[in-house]
Amino acid sequence: MDLDVSLFVIPLLAVAAPLLGRLVGRWVRIPIVVFELLLGILVGPSVLAIVAPTEFIDVLSEFGLALLFFVAGTEIEASALRGRTGRRAWFGWVVSFCAGTALGWIIAPGIGAVVIGIALSSTALGTLLPIMRDANELSTPFGRSVMALGAVGEFGPLIAISILLGGRSPGAATVVLLLFAVIAVAAIMLALRMPQGRLHEFVNSTLHTSGQFAIRVVFAIVASLVFLSLVMGIDMLLGAFTAGIVWRLIMRDATEHDRHAVESKIEGVAFGFLVPIFFIYTGVTFDLAALLADPLLLALVVAALIVLLAVRGGPSVLAAPVGAGARERAAVMLMGATGLPIIVAVTSIGVDEQMMTSAQAAVLVGAGMLSVLLFPLIAMTLRGDSTKAPAQLRDDGA
């Protein structure tokens, strides 16, 4: 039996990432995902070649990505997608997608342009969520704007992938997506109408036993909706995101103690186990050697990063809180332009289906990784400065 060294190394890197974050945090606050990505690159084939991609770790990475979207779904409030912030977030995404596709047509005429448009219009909600949570920003006007941008920046690209890149005609793909939406709405209605009292009582009685009913239900909901989306030929992340919304509704009337206890357990599994595997493995699989071998590609990565900031970040400013100052608007722009998971997913589809070259994919993924490494750090620094100014007006949802 061949030993898989990644089973030993990746958990050590997952432990090292928060320790490095705490150490460096004495001087500058850097998101833990930055260290996870960099450590993955360090031990991957492009640098030390200690860890190589394996099927088992790839599966665990997919679970981590699914849980990222599940947790994102549990954090989304319906009000974030309605009113002024929601309307502007959706309008900004449409502008980003159209601008990205138009630009992509110059680089890769045909369906490849759609791949580039989707990549350039995405926002990494799953990546931003832990950053916003750690900074206690989820309930602030700034946090609500970023969460709306993230939700739209994940949901919009997933819909575009399902309709335009799913292997069906756009008409047939739309019908399938509408069917999934009907099933998702039915699941949401069931969550709204199911008896809450007895369910929450059972959840409470198993919080500290081997039963762990709440966690088992979470995995059952995630597995069911992810499986359904895969069977229907829809991106699995739509299923994971919907599962998070369903679970949030199921627990809406539970006591604050029980909600926090369950959330803590879910976060322990997600951010303590599977999510770090996704980010570290993303670093492992990143083809840094190909970029280093061609100086032109490295220059294109920087250019793509600037394009990402313009195409996605520019329209994101539309969803900034009412009365936001220049620093806060710049922070919103940077957070909106932070993208990676969707970029990885859509470029993989593009390469597999020969819609784009591997070099083009490497440039876009490289830009996405740099956006995760740089944009949140700069944004939260600006945000820290902006909070020293007089309190901003809150978004009234008008």
For 122-150, write each residue's pLDDT tens digit.
998 877 887 888 888 888 899 989 989 99
pLDDT tens-place string over residues 186-211: 988 888 887 777 778 888 888 888 88
The tokens describing 292, both together, are 């280093």
pLDDT tens-place string over residues 330-343: 999 999 999 988 88
The mean pLDDT value for 97-115 works out to 90
Range of the domain at 143: 6-386
> Does residue 392 sit within a domain?
no
pLDDT tens-place string over residues 149-186: 998 998 899 888 888 887 677 788 888 889 998 998 89
DSSP string, 25-62: TTT----HHHHHHHHHHHHSTTTT------HHHHHHHH
The tokens describing 274, both together, are 């599977």
Query: Which amino acid makes up residue 56?
Result: F
Q: Is residue 32 over pLDDT 70?
A: yes
Residues 6+ apart with CB under 8 A from 317: 92, 329, 332, 333, 336
> Does residue 395 sit within a domain?
no
> Does residue 396 sit within a domain?
no
Classify the C-alpha dihedral 148-150-151-157 as positive or negative. Answer: positive
CA dist., res. 32 & res. 38, Å (int) = 10
> Does residue 276 sit within a domain?
yes
pLDDT tens-place string over residues 223-277: 999 999 888 888 788 899 889 989 988 888 888 888 888 888 998 999 999 999 9
- Torsion on CA atoms 297, 303, 304, 305, rounded to nearest 10: 120
DSSP state of 214: H
214 neighbors 262 (Cβ within 8 angstroms): yes
375 neighbors 334 (Cβ within 8 angstroms): yes
> Does residue 39 sit within a domain?
yes
Helices (H), 309-390: 314-316, 326-336, 341-352, 358-386
Residues 6+ apart with CB under 8 A from 143: 132, 137
310 neighbors 382 (Cβ within 8 angstroms): no
The tokens describing 96, both together, are 């980003």
Task: Of 295-309, 346-360, 368-382, give the lowest mean pLDDT range.
Answer: 346-360
The tally of domains found in the chain comes to: 1
Q: How many other β-carbons are positioned within 10 Å of the β-carbon of residue 327?
A: 18
Q: Is residue 82 over pLDDT 80?
A: no
Relative orientation angle of helices 170-193 and 213-231, to the nearest 10 degrees: 160
**47 versus 34: which is more confidently predicted?**
47
Nearest to 34 by CA among 237, 282, 211: 282
CATH code of the domain covering residue 77 = 1.20.1530.20
pLDDT tens-place string over residues 56-79: 999 999 899 889 889 878 877 666
The predicted structure's pLDDT at residue 79? 60
> Does residue 393 sit within a domain?
no
CA dist., res. 313 & res. 92, Å (int) = 9
**392 versus 114: which is more confidently predicted?**
114
pLDDT band of residue 391 (cuts 50, 70, 90) is: very low
> Does residue 197 sit within a domain?
yes
CA dist., res. 113 & res. 385, Å (int) = 38
Classify the C-alpha dihedral 43-44-50-54 as positive or negative. Answer: positive
CA dist., res. 173 & res. 238, Å (int) = 14
Q: How many other β-carbons are positioned within 10 Å of the β-carbon of residue 106?
A: 9
pLDDT band of residue 396 (cuts 50, 70, 90) is: very low
CA dist., res. 398 & res. 82, Å (int) = 9
